[in-house]
Chain A
Amino acid sequence: MEIEFQRVGKKYESGHDALSQVSFHLRQGEMAFLTGHSGAGKSTLMKLIMMIERQTTGTILVDGVDLRTLGKHAIPYHRRRVGVVFQNHQLLFDRSVFHNVALPLQVSGADDGQTGKRVRAALDKVGLLGKEKLNPMALSGGEQQRIGIARAVVNKPQLLLADEPTGNLDPRLSAEIMNLFQEFNRVGVTVMVASHDLALVARMRHRVLTLNQGRMVNDGGFA
């Protein structure tokens, strides 16, 4: 999946300019990091791609389709093509690891046989195959984060978005998580990871987009 922002701005009702004049082009199969201080607009940018928020100015093209042309009813189908790891929308603790990961498949109407296969494949990729029957509460922070990643990729999305996926993990676990994203990118998934861990981002040697107070101040080279 490719994403193109053309002079995109987002002004909230409070008058706060979360993003202004942001332009970039993320190509099919590319991997990029999105950095910047907290409040720089990283989350807003990702929400615009997910159509959780709508831009106030500019154009967002996803696979060449202008997101403004998609109506309310098209939003769920758009979201099914994107896997997300968001910090604040994490796991449901009233069901097992398996059922957490299976949620995107159930929502899009996959049959049980296929669901089982795909969930196990996703859990295998993140190294949690043996823990599908457990409640996520029984797992460590790093493991919980990986359940979230398994849920994001179980639908075989063409785009993977992650907002601070290593937020409260120690450096070793953070590196593991980042390596996971890199693996998904290697099989052709477009990946965008928002992170303020500059040291870690620099080590990964991918394209880096930097936001400062809602403006794109750096695009390209490694941080």
Chain B
Amino acid sequence: MARPPQQRSAAQRGATRQAHSAKQKPAWRAQGFDFKLYLRQHQAFLIESLTRLLGHPLASAMTIMVIAISLSLPGGLFVLLKNVQSVTDRWEQQSVISLYLFSQLEDTEALSLSHQLSSRADVLSVEYISKEEGLRYFEQSSGYEQIMSTLPENPLPIVLKVIPKAIVDLNTLPDLQALRDHLQSLPQVEYAQLDAEWLQRLATMISFGERFVYAISALLVIAVLLIVGNTIRMAVESRRDEVLVMKLVGATNSYIRRPFLYMGFWFGVLGGLFASICILMLSWWVSSPAEQLIELYHAGFELQSFNAVEIIMCLTISAVIGVFGSWVAVSRHIRDIELQ
């Protein structure tokens, strides 16, 4: 079907013009970006991917439950840790630093030290226990009266009971320890003892517990990434023909990726939701024995569970994991599926 020469050359001129403009601005960038359309497409994908998920209820439910169980373990440990911390936070015990002074120290020197210390900003009061008072306490409490009376002289040192202003808990513990160290360094003091050993042990245990929770969480997050990645990879594989046709008619990789990313998003969100439900149920189940146990030691304590903010955080984290897991799987896989 030959054309008249004028027409042909006009077409050629048009083509060169187009080629020229293409050099300045690639044709694929020249199209304007329609934000509303973009949002509408995303909305459609969001709904479509959920429908697809629900279209295979059994397979989807299994994946979601595996994710939920994997997430509820670190979540449950987190709640446990939170409760232990809140117990110690509410303990509100006055701490005492006992200073055992050198025995050769004179009473007057000890008294002046006592005054000096009680004027410190971080000290509430200082109780002065003379050697004689100390002996009386000792005899009363230990019942070693006879042994003590056989000794040639009173072996007990003067003791200053320093009561810091801060109430002892996990937050103030480092400050109190610093204060103790400072008092220990005074020349008159032979030995300074902070009466919070149990708390120090607990602090160590909690920091151990925290690390344990982080490690478990990291492992299980990786597990969830792999689960989502594998599920999405299978989903892409089952829609291989569709991916090929879409590539043939000019779909960008990001367009092809989108429904799968949304699928990952739903897996994540639904997994997180069920994990939250698991944790709430678990805390409800252990609440009555736990409260009884705690009441034995300390009244006025309420067991804490997942609160609204933590549930939202759990959902957000799991959604991010879901999207990321599927993104890794899908990007690799879609590049591999090429037209032949």
On A, residues with C-beta under 8 Å from B are: 2, 27-31, 47, 50, 52, 63-65, 70, 73-74, 76-80, 84, 86, 89, 92, 94, 103-104, 107-109, 111, 151, 155, 185, 206-207
- The answer to whether A104 and B250 touch (CB under 8 A), given A63-B19, A77-B27, is yes
**CB pair A79 B249 closer than 8 Å:** yes
Determine the interface band of chain B, counting residues with CB < 8 A from chain A: 35 or more
Q: Which residues of B contact A70 (CB under 8 A)?
A: 26
Q: Which residue of B1, B16, B34, B340 is within 8 Å of A185 (Cβ)? A: B1
- The answer to whether A104 and B15 touch (CB under 8 A), given A52-B340, A74-B28, A206-B1, is no
Looking at the assembled complex, report how far the CB atom of B203 sits from the nearest CB atom of chain A, in whole angstroms: 55
**CB pair B1 A64 closer than 8 Å:** no
**CB pair A64 B15 closer than 8 Å:** yes
Q: Which residues of A contact B37 (CB under 8 A)?
A: 109, 111
Q: Nearest chain-A residue to B248 (Cβ)?
A: A89
On B, residues with C-beta under 8 Å from A are: 1, 3, 8, 11-12, 14-16, 18-19, 22, 26-28, 31, 34, 37-38, 40-41, 241-242, 244-253, 255, 338-340
**CB pair B3 A92 closer than 8 Å:** no
**CB pair B11 A2 closer than 8 Å:** yes
Q: Nearest chain-B residue to A91 (Cβ)?
A: B245
Q: Main SS of chain B's interface residues? A: helix
**CB pair B244 A89 closer than 8 Å:** yes
Q: Which residues of A contact B22 (CB under 8 A)?
A: 63, 65
Q: Nearest chain-B residue to A61 (Cβ)?
A: B19
Q: Which residues of B contact A76 (CB under 8 A)?
A: 28, 247, 250-253, 255
**CB pair B242 A86 closer than 8 Å:** no
Complex CA–CA separation, A2 to B7 (angstroms): 13
Q: Which residues of B contact A89 (CB under 8 A)?
A: 244-245, 248, 339
Q: Which residue of A28, A77, A103 is within 8 Å of B15 (Cβ)? A: A28
Complex CA–CA separation, A41 to B224 (angstroms): 47
**CB pair A52 B339 closer than 8 Å:** yes
**CB pair B248 A86 closer than 8 Å:** yes
- Which of B14, B19, B244 gathers most chain A CB within 10 Å? B19
Q: Which residue of B1, B31, B251 is within 8 Å of A107 (Cβ)? A: B251
Q: Which residues of B contact A63 (CB under 8 A)?
A: 15, 18-19, 22
**CB pair B255 A107 closer than 8 Å:** yes
**CB pair B249 A103 closer than 8 Å:** yes
Complex CA–CA separation, A109 to B22 (angstroms): 21
Looking at the assembled complex, report how far the CB atom of A95 sits from the nearest CB atom of chain B, in whole angstroms: 9
**CB pair A109 B8 closer than 8 Å:** no
Looking at the assembled complex, report how far the CB atom of B159 sits from the nearest CB atom of chain A, in whole angstroms: 80
Looking at the assembled complex, report how far the CB atom of B4 sits from the nearest CB atom of chain A, in whole angstroms: 11
Looking at the assembled complex, report how far the CB atom of B257 sits from the nearest CB atom of chain A, in whole angstroms: 13
Complex CA–CA separation, A109 to B31 (angstroms): 11
Q: Which residues of A contact B18 (CB under 8 A)?
A: 63-65
- Which of A47, A74, A76, A108 gathers most chain B CB within 10 Å? A76
- The answer to whether A2 and B15 touch (CB under 8 A), given A74-B26, A109-B37, is yes
- Which of A2, A65, A70, A111 gathers most chain B CB within 10 Å? A65
Q: Nearest chain-A residue to B340 (Cβ)?
A: A52
